[in-house]
Amino acid sequence: MINLSVNIKEKDVNYPIYINNIDINNLKKSILDEIEHKNYIVVFSKKVHKLYSKILDFPKDKTLVLPDGEREKIYKNYLKILNFALSKKLKREDAIIAIGGGVIGDITGFAASTYMRGINFIQVPTTLLSAVDSSVGGKTAINSAFGKNLIGTFYQPKAVFINVNFLKTIDEKQFKSGLGEVLKYGFIEKNCNPDYEAQLINFLTEHNEKILSRDILTLKNLIKMCIELKISVVQKDEKETGLRKILNFGHTYGHAIETITKYKKYTHGECVVEGIKFALNLALKKNLIDKEYKFLCEDLIKKFDYEPLLKYSLDKVISVMTNDKKSTDKFIKFILPVSYAEVGEFDFTTEQLREICET
């Protein structure tokens, strides 16, 4: 069992993250102990419910099952959670538990943050992506027709339970989606932890086969490494006023592709990987990095066998990126690599971007 914790001093927030591979049938007891056996509801991803509802054994009348997929992270489902919680007469001291991937965690977290101005919230991530990234740090959101995650809050969970056994049953596409966020952490590691030597790029290079074959101990270590990096960032900058922006590496371009393809064609992680490749090209053209580092990063990405995405019109991509919540009236903001495992923030006008991309 690995126990980590997030400590946000200004808000007096401190919560545990449990990473283990114990039998999944022990999870309910651990969660109920954590919420001191208060009243609760569980919001399940449909896929996870189908596979694990029996073994997890939560009562049916406390369970709400929501469909999977980024296109379901919408107002209608947010409202379903609130109405379900209201119908069960949940009070603020009670709890809402999310069991599923990033979509379920984000939408349930948003509902929890607005239910009676904030009810206890438990994250049980069941995908690699939610385990290494979205379940920790308190970002909650729903999507809108204008783009991804444009409506949301910062709301920290009361606890995060990561059981690596869930990763045995996610499909390959979802697993690789999570690896997209893992790769991101490799390329930003020095910013997260300026005092330490970067290790994640080496770990990914050395253990890529064990990772792809989902060796449980390797995955446990990988998740721990990523979450430690995330914790060190979130503790310094919960609200993304500075340092936390680095976690958006690969996301400005990636979100645009997700929006253009209406979340149907590619997973989030595939789009992040494409965004990382776009950022590497941009960084090379601006002389921020040399060819050797670009090749090193591209080689590492190749080890994880991503299919190349279709090419989308630059005008279309730029127009969507101007709607990104990090963009301002004048500039599109990118996190770009500047040296080994290190990134920085850079502003581009749409004209500058077009000029660089077209040369």
Question: Which letter does DSSP use for residue 241 in this model?
Answer: S
Which CB sits closer to ligand GLY, 108 or 134? 134
Out of 255, 258, 270, 277, pick the active-site residue: 255
Out of 149, 184, 248, 270, pick the active-site residue: 248
Question: Which letter does DSSP use for residue 197 in this model?
Answer: -
Distances (CA, A) of 209 to 59, 130, 166, 298, 341: 39, 21, 19, 17, 21
Token pair of 116 as six digits? 């009676």
Which CB sits closer to ligand GLY, 42 or 136? 136
Yes or no: say if 189 and 199 are a contact pair by the CB < 8 Å rule. yes
DSSP three-state, residue 40: strand
Question: Would you call 354 a catalytic residue per the annotation?
Answer: no
Q: Smallest distance from the beta carbon of 244 to ligand GLY, in angstroms? A: 5
The 3-state secondary structure of 90-156, one letter per residue:
CCCCCEEEEEECHHHHHHHHHHHHHHHHCCEEEEEECCHHHHHHHCCCCEEEEEECCEEEEEEEECC
By CB under 6 A, tell whether 103 contacts ligand GLY.
no
Distance CA 356, CA 358 (A): 6
- How many residues at the interface with ligand GLY, by CB under 6 A? 6
**Pattern 229-258, binding to ligand GLY, x per CB under 6 A?**
---------------x--x-----------
Question: Would you call 139 a catalytic residue per the annotation?
Answer: yes
Out of 268, 270, 274, 277, pick the active-site residue: 268
DSSP three-state, residue 157: coil
Which CB sits closer to ligand GLY, 124 or 272? 272
**Pattern 138-167, binding to ligand GLY, x per CB under 6 A?**
-x----------------------------
Q: Smallest distance from the beta carbon of 136 to ligand GLY, in angstroms? A: 8
Which residue of this chain has its Cβ atom nearest to ligand GLY in the complex? 247
Of 116, 117, 104, the residue nearest 166 (C-alpha):
104
Stretch that binds ligand GLY, among 129-137, 257-265, 276-284, 316-324 (CB under 6 A): 129-137
DSSP three-state, residue 28: helix
Q: Smallest distance from the beta carbon of 222 to ligand GLY, in angstroms? A: 17
Q: 98: buried, middle or exposed (CB in 10 Å: 19+, 13-18, 0-12)?
A: buried
Binds ligand GLY by CB under 6 A, chosen from 105, 137, 157, 269: 137
Binding stretches for ligand GLY (CB under 6 A): 133-134, 137, 139, 244, 247
**Which residues are catalytically annotated?**
117, 139, 181, 230, 240, 244, 248, 251, 255, 268
